[in-house]
Amino acid sequence: MSQAIHPSIAIDPALVPKRQLASGASMPAIGLGTFGSDSVSPTQVAEAVKGAAAAGYRHFDCASVYVNEPEVGASLEEIQRGGIKREELWITSKVWNDKHGEDDLIASCRQSLADLRLDYLDLYLVHWPFPNFHPPGCDVSSRSPDAKPYIHESYMKTWRAMEKLVDLGLVRHIGTSNMTIPKLKLVLRDARIKPAVNEMELHPHFQQPELFRFVRENGIVPVGYCPLGSPGRPERDRTPDDTAPTQDPVILEIARRHGVNPAAVCIKWAVQRGQTPIPFSVNHYRDNLACVISDPLSGEEMNAIAQIDHNCRLIKGQVFLWKEGQTWEALWDTNGEITPP
Ligand SMILES: NC(=O)c1ccc[n+]([C@@H]2O[C@H](COP(=O)([O-])OP(=O)(O)OC[C@H]3O[C@@H](n4cnc5c(N)ncnc54)[C@H](OP(=O)(O)O)[C@@H]3O)[C@@H](O)[C@H]2O)c1
């Protein structure tokens, strides 16, 4: 059941914390995720986008691969017709892995703009640094016969096309997603326009402290996906070792103390720590926004959550593996170097 939003219980967007990007632009420090996985239809997501805007959200995280941009776009148009100005919104989209070539990338961005019914995007991301096609919804054991590893020269060609989008005025900022420190070091060395944002998995059981520190030290804003540990993710994205941050005793105790649900503790922690969570929700989006303007977690509570990092990556990316016998760790450069081809 979707939340019925009454204007009187909307949250004033001016009260929602903001992140300042290197350009000086200001981005709301929480956004609505729009990936409905296998279970939430494009229509339901589009309804949630409208409801969330009425509740006070101004930041929406979209992607062509979520196959709902046309429906989300109709909602964005309606939201603006209702009086919310384009410049009050922060809209992100992402290029999928089979569109990394310049012409494809520019065409894909134009398609997202047409679908989302926008003249420009606030932020456009390279969704994954691997130029490999796999169909949405495929099993984690599926492999692309022409899968390729990260090759920096190829990524930089993609990045040059991203920079061109800025020059063309189609996007205001460009950023990376699912990157590692060694890959980002090379991009920072070679980019004409540096990534404004890096989107990465971040929740209390996967805090990525080194990458989190690295991006912030380099003027890149961390956007955190799966901020609640993605409890609704499809079966194919689950492994027996996965843990659930919203069931952690430390989170449960802090939630009890504040009289909020465990999801609210994860979101408050994320915003206070300095990342920008983008929780997906069709049923709880108002609560998820309201919690960021309610009483903050104490320093002691923030420290307690810092101690429950399990290094538990949920979105492992197995489908991007390019060689027989590899494990998913190869995608994440866990020994500090880019995994050789
Ligand atoms: N860049 C990337 O590669 C990448 C990868 C994955 C995700 N993302 C982005 O990140 C967004 C969020 O990730 P996610 O959707 O996987 O995970 P998530 O936001 O951690 O979890 C979403 C799930 O939590 C539930 N939920 C939300 N608020 C709740 C609350 N207050 N209480 C109880 N349950 C609650 C939602 O159900 P209800 O709908 O019932 O509230 C939904 O099933 C995606 O939508 C997408 O935009 C990006």
Residue spans of alpha helices (H) in 191-298: 209-217, 249-258, 262-273, 285-290
Residues whose CB is less than 8 angstroms from the CB of residue 117 and which lie 6 or more positions away in sequence, other chains included: 73, 74, 76, 77
Average confidence score pLDDT of the chain: 95
CA 327 / ligand 1 centre spacing (Å) = 25
Which among 64, 56, 62 has a CA at the least distance from the CA of 28?
A: 56
Best of 3, 35, 134 for a ligand 1 pocket test (most atoms within 8 Å of beta carbon): 35
In this prediction, residues 278-288 reach a mean pLDDT of 98
Atom of ligand 1 nearest to the CA of 36: 45
Active site residues: 66
Best of 40, 67, 197, 226 for a ligand 1 pocket test (most atoms within 8 Å of beta carbon): 226
Spatial separation of the C-alpha atoms in residues 251 and 259, rounded to whole Å = 12
Spatial separation of the C-alpha atoms in residues 188 and 190, rounded to whole Å = 6
SS3 301: helix
Q: Which of 4-8, 212-216, 258-262, 263-267 has the lowest mean pLDDT?
A: 4-8
Q: Which residue has the tokens 């081809």?
A: 341
Nearest CA to ligand 1 atom 36: 281
Amino acid (1-letter code) at residue 281:
S
CA 337 / ligand 1 centre spacing (Å) = 30
Spatial separation of the C-alpha atoms in residues 166 and 187, rounded to whole Å = 17
Characterize the bridge pairing of strands 32-33 and 221-225.
unpaired
318 lines ligand 1 (CB under 6 A): no
34 lines ligand 1 (CB under 6 A): yes
In this prediction, residues 256-282 reach a mean pLDDT of 98
For residue 2, what pLDDT band results from cuts at 50, 70 and 90?
Answer: very low
Q: What are the tens digits of pLDDT across the range 125-151?
A: 999 999 988 776 777 777 777 789 999
Q: Which residue has the tokens 């609210």?
A: 264
For residue 199, what pLDDT band results from cuts at 50, 70 and 90?
Answer: very high
Residue 303 has pLDDT above 90, yes or no: yes
